[in-house]
């Protein structure tokens, strides 16, 4: 917003950046939750391609070297998704994913908590949980995503 002196209000820009990041985050997360791994792992790769920047960088809380570049991250995601798809399609593994928005206060950044539940045909369950921090540029997520607190609990 421009005031009577021709100055741009930083509050308005921050609010727009914050709102647009939340909107894009909502669309991305809804796409992930609605995709069906037993039908196709490629659907998740299409979502990744649509929402993430070429200069993406993924890191975690362990301090390991970040994974840089869309091709390397895509390969990592494929290596995770393909076995899940096979186990769901052929082996009867039931897979569900949930997302919970986590409030943040920085414009252009979003936070979310995720839970992936894997239930075998015997009823045995493994639950993985993690949190994601995404930094948004324009209409895509990038260049930095951080993951933390991966856990697996078996029941």
What confidence tier does 39 reach under pLDDT thresholds 50, 70, 90? Answer: very high
- Confidence at 100, pLDDT banded by 50, 70, 90: very high
Going from the N-terminus, what domains does the chain have, and what CATH number goes with each?
Answer: 10-154 (3.10.450.50)
Per-residue buried b or exposed e for 76-110, using 16+ beta carbons within 10 Å of the residue's own CB: ebeeebeebbebbeeeebeeeeebeeeebeebebb
Percent of the chain with pLDDT over 90: 47
> What pTM value is reported for the model?
0.81
Q: For residue range 113-144, what is the model confidence (pLDDT) as tens digits?
A: 999 999 999 999 998 888 888 888 866 787 56
């Amino acid at each position: 917003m421009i005031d009577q002196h021709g100055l741009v209000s930083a509050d308005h820009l921050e609010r727009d950046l914050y709102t647009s990041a939340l909107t894009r985050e909502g669309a991305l997360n809804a796409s992930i939750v609605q995709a069906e791994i037993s039908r196709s792992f490629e659907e998740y790769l299409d979502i990744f391609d649509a929402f993430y920047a070429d200069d993406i960088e993924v890191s975690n809380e362990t301090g390991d070297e970040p994974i840089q570049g869309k091709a390397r991250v895509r390969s990592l995601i494929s290596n995770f998704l393909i076995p899940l798809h096979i186990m769901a399609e052929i082996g009867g593994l039931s897979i569900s994913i949930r997302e919970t928005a986590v409030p943040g206060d920085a414009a252009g950044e979003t936070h979310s908590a995720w839970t992936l539940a894997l239930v075998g045909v015997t009823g045995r369950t493994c639950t993985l949980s993690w949190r994601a921090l995404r930094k948004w540029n324009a209409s895509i997520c990038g260049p930095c995503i951080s993951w933390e607190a991966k856990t697996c609990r078996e029941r």
